[in-house]
Amino acid sequence: MDSDRWQRIDNLLHAALELPPAERDAFLKRECALDQDLEREVRSLIAADKSAGSFLNTPALEGVGYDSTITHVAGQTVSHYRILEMLGAGGMGIVYKAFDTKLERHVALKFLPPHLRHDGELKRRLSEEARAASTLDHPNIVVVHDIDETPDGDLFIAMAFHEGVTLRHRIERDQPNGMPVTEALQLARQIAAGLARAHERGIVHRDIKPGNIIVARDGVARIIDFGLAKSSQATATADGSTRGTPLYMSPEQASGKPFDGRTDLWSLGAVLYEMLAGRPPFSGDSNLTLLHAIIYDAPPRLREVRADLPAAVEAIVARAMEKDLARRYASAAEMAADIAAALDGSGRLPVRRPTPRRAAIVMAAVILAILAAVYFAWPRRAKLTDRDTVVLAEFENKTNDPVFDGTLRQGMAVQLEQSPFLSIVSDDRMQFLLGLMGQANDARLTPQVARMLCERAGGAAVLDGSITPLGSHYLLALRARNCRTGDVLDQEQVQAAKKEDVLIALSQIATRFRTRVGESLASIKQHDTPLPEVTTASLEALKVYNTAWKVWAATGPAAAVPHAERAIELDPQFALAHAFLGRLYGELWQPAQAAESGNRAYQLRNRVSEIERYFIMVPHELDGTGNLRKAEQTARQWAEAYPRDVRPRGYLSGIDQFLGKFDESVEDGKKAVALDPDFPPAYNNLAWAYVQLNRLPEAENTLRQSADRKVFFPEFLVIRYYIAAIKGDRAAMQREAAESEKSPEVGDWILHAESCVLAYSGRLRDARQKSLQAVNAAKQSAHQQERAALWQAGEAVREAFFGNYGEARRHATAALAISRGRDAAYGAAFALALTGEKTQSQALAKDLAKASEDTTIQYDYLPVLRALDALHRGDSSAALESLQTAAPFELGVSGYGTGLFGILYPVYLRGQAYLQARRYAEAAHEFQRILDLPGVVFTDPVGVMARLQLARTLAASGDTAKAKAAYQDFFTLWKDADVDVPLLIKAKAESALVN
């Protein structure tokens, strides 16, 4: 089978399993219409899924969650206990067999999880409870001898040591079958007896499970870990993930309600169930579904699983596992008595049998539970956590007014995005997922599609809603459902008196929903600006804005522009629409318009929600003012306020590179990938950062990772080309270049990169050919004029460096004729300065200087141009002084990426200045710095120049041997160079003089 076909089978399998069994047939027939093999395959897997049961559910040896990083090695002494060996590890720490040197007996030492070390309060409470438990003296409870702390502050408990296995182990021996009924009942009776004693003393165990019962060889069962369940709950939140299993948890525990001793009886019932059935009463793929099943579902009937079971025994389990506390056994003693009766009477006994009346009540209770699931919102239990993601489906418009089409969903999205608690699957990501699902990018998000998408996105809930006319009023409804089970998590309704109030009503409903699903009131208070204030009061404008997004999704940025403009026309104060328009222009490589719209949005930034404000401000600093420090600062604030939003991390990993902080870029990039593994720019920035650090295997790995996720980004081709080029892998370079011909996004870019590679080895004639192709390719695309200018500017810079001044001036002029954007203008200015065109260069510099906040211009471009001028005047100290300004930013990779021109020029010129000042060691150091950063330099001609200048520096310093080697290094690089390049001719002449 090939993996594509398997992928398809796998997707169909899950889609079918999602459906109620009755609907699967039609679904499969429809989906596999032309492929009977496919249908058969999926059906057979559905059957296998059903019959798989508990297959592979228990780890190969034995599976208990564990969490501890404390360890103690045999032979070590803790207090007066000598540790002998490790017995096991579980959710509540590691247990060792130890020898009590005072009382000369064996004990079991349990070390509680190390994070308790730092929680004095919890530790105090735990030791109090454990101390209370230590007063329990009963043959079915393991005696606690001692509670103490190690010098490191780790809590440990010394208890009686018993030879034996855990009940978990005993159950597994008979799996997949259940244990003999008599043995199971005997064990359960003892556990109930132990619990009875504890409950008498007011001590609730809270975590009765097979792993907490020790069964000795003589059949005596003993309960361990009284009073310790709290520490396992602490474990559950210590690193944010749930450990261990809630398999035996009672419904009241699962729903966060108060509980008493009867909760232990439920758990014992569940344990008894598992002993008899060979599998636990409830199962679920995740803790979430498991908890849900515990609260709402009835377990499979025991006698269906095990026919030989007396009805009396089934009744005992059923009574212990009553979801309604009032119907459960009132005490452990009562349960123990029933078990004892079942044991000696073997079925003859007067155990309550479920009478028909009782059965009816049970049924009614089940129905009530279902109704409660729909209508009853547990006020204190969070239904979602701050790790959950939700998907918004379309609102159903039951009015005849088309103005509500799409508008309500858009409004709800804006409203819910304000919440740092909820994470809404973004429209970008949704499109990507729709593509994976084989749906059109702009497919209608029916609740069904949204639910599939939600599952695909790893989401927890899907939200849909409706608007219904109610006389002259409107009724808005919102419903949140678990996207895996379809169960309703929350329902809200609100009325709006008139059309104009609908957006306000939408805000109210959103706020109520946020409260219900578990967001804290403080958080809501801080991030809840009503919709009309954060978007627009005009429903029409909101509708057109929504259309703009849809058009963007379906056909791309160019077609969306008129819609965004129309939304602005309808409400000129609509900040989000301005921001969106700016984004569209940005995608179209139209920096001037992008900056203008961005600026407009920026001015209106107080009319958006906090999160949108960040989304406006960061691009504004990046593309508008160019203030990288501020951009970084704002993005960091954003990441802190909305830690689950991938966008700030994505921006940060890019900004880090602009600032030359490549290691930080890797960190931020990794975080971005972790936050949203389907967000292409995250991989893009991370892979670039690795390339810049010359950590090529990791860059390749990052790209592979994204390919595994089926995440693609046009720039990946460029990165792969760079990697191949740095490695000197010609075959791969050709492959990537051929691949890129298909890509309208990066075809011209790769052509130019190919040209840069040629030029870097001195093959200028071939390079010019490729550059010409690159420029033409860019010019052909209406939206890539800026890039055409950049390619021209890059060519100007390298021709100037290599001594072809005429060519350099020609390209500089050509670049400026296309665009006077920042980077093209700088390239032209630099090339012109090198060729001695001082006036023109200075005029360009003066223009650049107007962007007073632009970090790159003020701290890199201008100091470089000034230093160049100083060097021409022979004033090396003025050059050095000017370059000092650049020092903090000189490793930065400016707007257009590496390999073209402009990277590390402050370092290069500082080397030049030192050389001019005859400070050879310092000069050599600067040039060497450039050569040490091959991933940053890539094919920037400065790499060629640094080699030659290093040779010149060494020659001037009189180090003949090293100078010769350095020249040789340059000649090796240029072994295939055109013979007529002035730089080469000059270098040959110079090197001949080195003797």
Partner 1 sequence: MRTEPPTEVSTLLRAWSDGDQEALQRMTPIVYKELHRLAHYFMRRERDGHSLQTTALVHEAYVRLIDYKHMEWQNRAHFFAVSAQLMRRILVENARRHNQKRGGDVRHVPLDEAVLVSGKRPAELVALDDALNELERFDARKVRVVEMRFFGGLELEEIAAVLQVSAVTVGRDLRSAKAWLHRQMTGGADGLRPLAADR
Cα–Cα distance, 128 to 126 (Å, whole number): 5
Phi-psi region of 687 (alpha: psi -120 to 50; beta: other; left: phi over 0): alpha
Cα–Cα distance, 639 to 668 (Å, whole number): 10
Q: What separation in angstroms does the CA of 194 have from each of 90, 137, 157, 191, 223?
A: 22, 9, 20, 5, 7
Least distance to partner 1, CB of residue 367, Å: 30
Least distance to partner 1, CB of residue 25, Å: 14
Nearer Cβ to partner 1, position 85 or 980?
85
Nearer Cβ to partner 1, position 258 or 697?
697
Sheet bearing 77-78, strands edge to edge: 77-78, 81-90, 93-100, 105-111, 155-160, 144-149
At 20 the three-state DSSP class reads coil
- Residues 6+ away with beta carbon under 8 Å from 675: 644, 645, 646, 649, 682
> Of 909, 978, 916, nearest to 952 (Cα)?
916
∠ CA(920), CA(925), CA(928), 5° rounding?
125
Cis ω before 941 (30° cut-off from 0): no
| Side-chain half-sphere exposure of 452, counting CA atoms within 13 A | 22
* 242-252 per-residue burial string, b: 16 or more CB within 10 A, e: under 16: bbbbbbbbbbb
Nearer Cβ to partner 1, position 49 or 405?
49
Q: What separation in angstroms does the CA of 319 have from each of 70, 313, 791?
A: 41, 10, 79
Cα–Cα distance, 86 to 103 (Å, whole number): 21
- 102: which 2 tokens? 């005072």
Q: What separation in angstroms does the CA of 143 have from each of 133, 228, 267, 670?
A: 9, 14, 21, 49
Respond yes or no: is residue 207 known to be catalytic: yes
User: Are the C-beta atoms of residues 122 and 230 closer than 8 Å to each other?
Assistant: yes
Cα–Cα distance, 213 to 224 (Å, whole number): 6
Nearer Cβ to partner 1, position 93 or 906?
93
CA 818 to chain centre: 41
Nearer Cβ to partner 1, position 424 or 631?
424
- Residues 6+ away with beta carbon under 8 Å from 825: 793, 816, 819, 844, 847, 848
Nearer Cβ to partner 1, position 11 or 842?
11
How do beta strands 389-397 and 423-424 pair?
parallel
**Residue 243 DSSP symbol:** -
Nearer Cβ to partner 1, position 344 or 708?
708
Nearer Cβ to partner 1, position 50 or 727?
50
Least distance to partner 1, CB of residue 169, Å: 4
Q: What separation in angstroms does the CA of 34 have from each of 23, 28, 561, 888?
A: 19, 11, 41, 64
Measured in degrees and rounded to the nearest 5, phi and psi for residue 147 equal: -125, 130
Least distance to partner 1, CB of residue 85, Å: 7
CA 202 to chain centre: 45
First-to-last CA distance in the chain? 69
Q: Identify the H or E element spanning 264.
A: helix 262-277
- Residues 6+ away with beta carbon under 8 Å from 738: none
Least distance to partner 1, CB of residue 510, Å: 25
Nearer Cβ to partner 1, position 103 or 674?
674
Nearer Cβ to partner 1, position 157 or 214?
214
Nearer Cβ to partner 1, position 449 or 588?
449
- 115: which 2 tokens? 């994070």
- Residues 6+ away with beta carbon under 8 Å from 849: 857, 858, 862
Which of 100, 146, 207, 623 is flagged as catalytic?
A: 207
**Counts of helices then strands in the chain (DSSP H, E):** 47, 14
Nearer Cβ to partner 1, position 54 or 182?
54
Residues involved in catalysis? 207
